[in-house]
Amino acid sequence: MRIWEIARKPKLVIRDLSLPLSVVRSKARRAGETVIPVLKDLVEDKVVGYLTPIELIMPTSHHTTIRVRDALREHPVLFQDMSIGEVFDKLREFKTIGAPVVNSVDEMKLQGVVSYNDILNYLIKAGYRPIAESIAEIMTVKELDKYVVSANDRVNKVWSRIVYRGQPGVVVRSLDEPIPQGILTYHEFIRTSR
């Protein structure tokens, strides 16, 4: 299977490199998009990079000076003839949840976007089933302390783990009992803009 079979049209595309990230975050929240291609200009569909939710939660204030050009990811860019395995390896290597798909390294013309969710949805629709039968077979059991926080911990502690260390999120637990109360991921930062 090739990635052009999975690539979908992005719900949001940015063509202005001087746009503040806080404005893009607001647009991404309304569009529900996780991979936002950034194109060269209004005429060409040439990809110069992209943004993910991780870049969008970098600004800690609505009055930030961080612009699209300052936070732009340039790698990886996926090519339409790559296999699903190659794409998965690239996304994992660069610790990103998705990337734009282009036609060739010379033209860099946008063909669509692909995320882990897109790959998973495609495999399910194609009839693939997980090899593991229970969560216990695949869950993380080592270094659990780095994935658990208290509800009273400071928000910037978790924010920093997500933005700078590439941690996908944390489990929030009660101070009194070791029972999970919820989770905190980049989705909550984008949804609340806090």
- The three-point CA angle 118-144-35 to 5° equals 20
Report yes or no on whether pTM surpasses 0.85: no
Cβ atoms of residues 56 and 26 within 8 Å = no
Question: Can you read off the two tokens belonging to residue 170?
Answer: 């944390």
Of the spans 1-10, 73-82, 132-141, which averages the highest pLDDT? 73-82
Instruction: Establish if 181 belongs to a structural domain.
Output: yes
Tokens of 43: 């005429």
Query: Do 117 and 140 share a structural domain?
Result: no
159 and 68 part of one domain: no
- What's the pLDDT score for residue 50? 93
CATH of the domain at 164: 3.10.580.10
Query: Which domain, by its residues, includes 15?
Result: 3-125
**108 plus 140 within the same structural domain:** no
Task: Say if residues 181 and 44 touch (Cβ distance below 8 Å).
Answer: no
- Per the structure, the count of domains in the chain is 2
Q: What is the pLDDT of residues 16-39, one digit of tens each?
A: 888 888 888 888 888 888 898 999
Residues 168 and 94 placed together within one structural domain of the fold: no
Does the residue 130 lie in any domain?
Answer: no
> Mean of the per-residue pLDDT values for the chain?
85
Q: Is 65 helix (H, G, I), strand (E, B) or coil?
A: coil
State the pairing for strand pair 47-51/98-102. Answer: unpaired
Instruction: Please tell me the distance from the alpha carbon of residue 63 to that of residue 79, in angstroms, as a whole number.
Output: 36
> What are the pLDDT digits (tens) for 147-185?
888 888 888 888 888 877 777 788 888 777 778 888 888
Name the more confident of 161 and 64: 161
**In this predicted structure, what is the pLDDT of residue 38?**
92
pLDDT of residue 164: 78
| pLDDT score at 62 | 64
The pLDDT, as a whole number, for residue 114 is 93
Task: Answer yes or no: do 152 and 63 share one domain.
Answer: no
Length of the chain: 194
Chain centroid to CA 42: 25
Angstrom distances, CA of residue 188 to CA of 46, 63, 86, 116, 121: 31, 20, 30, 19, 23
Domain boundary (67, 102, 125) is at 125
Q: Are residues 101 and 144 in the same domain?
A: no
Could you say which of 125, 150, 172 is where a domain stops?
A: 125
